[in-house]
Amino acid sequence: MTRRSIIAGTGAALPARSVSNNELAAWKNIDTTDEWIVERTGIRNRHIAGEGETTATLAADAARRALAAAGVAADRIGLIVLATATPDQTFPATATIVQTMLGIDDCIAFDVAAVCTGFLYALSVADNMLKGGMADHALVIGAETFSRILDWEDRTTCVLFGDGAGAVVLTAEEGDPDSGILASRLHADGRHNDLLYVTGGPSTTQTVGTVRMKGKEVFRHAVVNLAGVMHEVLDAAGHEPGDVDWVVPHQANKRILDATAKKLGLAPEKVIVTVDRHANTSAASVPLALDTAVRDGRIRRGDLLVLEAMGGGFTWGAAVVRY
Ligand code: COA
């Protein structure tokens, strides 16, 4: 028996407003077409936060649903790790705002910044803190309002992203070594800052800035890095691609999902796809996809999952989970 981190429950939240490609083009006056976006990315809709909806409100809603699914009361949470690139304020951490919204008086709470890989980083940090005895129950959240850092004049980026949040309750249990998070692997290579970044920041421009991306180069790195880290993490967990029941990938682009699955020899039916409905929600996309597939009954207890993501930095990572 060893101390394990088990995913006890999942939750998600999306802004009320869902916007199709055609609606977005008309609303923001973008020179694009539904055909172009669907063909290049697989995206059909995204949710866009409205007045009163922020990264913290979405995160808190997702967290409440995850707590309810886990049957864990908020006051038992000892740790909140929140991944975001779009915090409500530069400081304090959005995790502390969520903590207050959930009515938790005292726990460890901080944000993790690894952009689209943020949830994998947060999950690994929380897993290790639980195993180290720092807490018994953790909320791990990915939440974003990317619509607020998009340049709506730049059609090469603004059609790709959406807003949302996903959360899991991680619970430490003395259990079977083949349960919960079996392995995680994380990477970063800061030399690629210029391929995917935001033009501002408190210490440089004193502004928030907007997203810039060289899509083709990012695409190329994504497929190589994701296939590599998935092999690495499966090896670390003592599994092979053939053992995997479901891949829960970061949802950036349907073509990246297809190319990565092909490189691993995985059937496309084993890949959870939500990019058509949510677009790229950065740190929220993996837990949003996980919650979608748990609630629609595809992912069941005992299934072997691979979670993976890649994003700005570059950062990339993967985790193998016995759900
Ligand atoms: N609507 C219509 N045309 C568009 C467009 C849009 N929204 N955005 C770009 N175009 C045009 C370009 O201007 C270009 O026109 P040109 O040939 O006349 O210059 C043409 O479409 C092709 O652009 P290109 O950038 O070469 O397209 P692409 O096939 O590489 O697809 C992405 C672009 C962004 C969809 C693709 O590169 C991609 O998905 N990359 C990965 C990015 C990603 O998901 N990153 C997130 C990782 S966290």
Q: From the alpha carbon of 157, which atom of ligand 1 is closest?
A: 34
- Residue 90: its pLDDT value, please? 97
Q: Which two tokens stand for residue 233?
A: 């993490």
Structural domain harbouring 299: 180-322
The last residue of a domain, from among 175, 190, 223: 175
How does strand 79-83 pair with strand 137-145?
parallel
pLDDT at 83 over 90: yes
Distance 156 CA to ligand 1 centre (A): 5
Question: What does the pLDDT look like over 261-293, one tens digit per residue?
Answer: 998 999 999 999 999 999 999 999 999 999 999
Q: Does one domain contain both 141 and 273? A: no
From the list 211, 182, 190, the residue with the least C-alpha distance to 280 is: 211
3-state secondary structure of 158: helix
Q: Which amino acid is at 147?
A: S
Q: Does one domain contain both 189 and 316? A: yes
- Sign of dihedral through CA atoms 119, 122, 128, 132? negative
Q: Does one domain contain both 122 and 190? A: no
Q: From the alpha carbon of 282, which atom of ligand 1 is closest?
A: 48
> Which of these is catalytic: 21, 116, 137, 239?
116
Distance 204 CA to ligand 1 centre (A): 28
Does the CB atom of residue 116 touch ligand 1 within 6 A?
yes
Confidence of residue 142 (pLDDT cuts 50, 70, 90): very high
Active site annotation includes 250: yes
- 297 and 97 in contact (C-beta within 8 Å)? no
3-state secondary structure of 247: strand
Does the CB atom of residue 156 touch ligand 1 within 6 A?
yes
The pTM of the whole model exceeds 0.75:
yes
- 77 and 107 in contact (C-beta within 8 Å)? yes
Q: Does one domain contain both 266 and 159? A: no
From the list 313, 293, 288, the residue with the least C-alpha distance to 305 is: 293
pLDDT at 1 over 80: no
Distance 244 CA to ligand 1 centre (A): 31
- Residue 151: its pLDDT value, please? 98
Distance 34 CA to ligand 1 centre (A): 13
Buried b (16+ CB within 10 A) or exposed e, 234-271: beebebebeebebbbbbbbbbbbbebbbebbebeeeeb
Question: What does the pLDDT look like over 35-45, one tens digit per residue?
Answer: 999 999 999 99
3-state secondary structure of 239: coil
How does strand 45-48 pair with strand 196-198?
unpaired
Q: Does one domain contain both 83 and 155? A: yes
Confidence of residue 302 (pLDDT cuts 50, 70, 90): very high
The last residue of a domain, from among 140, 160, 175: 175
Distance 215 CA to ligand 1 centre (A): 6
Question: What does the pLDDT look like over 160-219, one tens digit per residue?
Answer: 999 999 999 999 999 899 999 999 999 999 999 999 999 999 999 999 999 999 999 999
Does the CB atom of residue 40 touch ligand 1 within 6 A?
yes
DSSP 8-state symbol, 203 = T
In the block, residue with structure tokens 């993501």: 309
Q: Which two tokens stand for residue 309?
A: 């993501």
Q: Report the largest interatomic distance among the alpha carbons of the chain, rounded to a whole angstrom.
A: 59
- Residue 73: its pLDDT value, please? 98
Question: What does the pLDDT look like over 84-131, one tens digit per residue?
Answer: 999 999 999 999 999 999 999 999 999 999 999 999 999 999 999 999
Identify the residue whose C-alpha is closest to ligand 1 atom 9: 156
Q: Does one domain contain both 102 and 58? A: yes
Q: What is the CATH classification number for the domain harbouring 202?
A: 3.40.47.10
Count of domains forming the chain = 2
In the block, residue with structure tokens 């058509």: 276
Q: Does one domain contain both 248 and 280? A: yes
Does the CB atom of residue 219 touch ligand 1 within 6 A?
yes
- Residue 175: its pLDDT value, please? 84
Q: Does one domain contain both 222 and 273? A: yes
Question: What does the pLDDT look like over 242-259, one tens digit per residue?
Answer: 999 999 999 999 999 999
Within its chain, how far is the Cα of 64 from the centroid?
Answer: 17
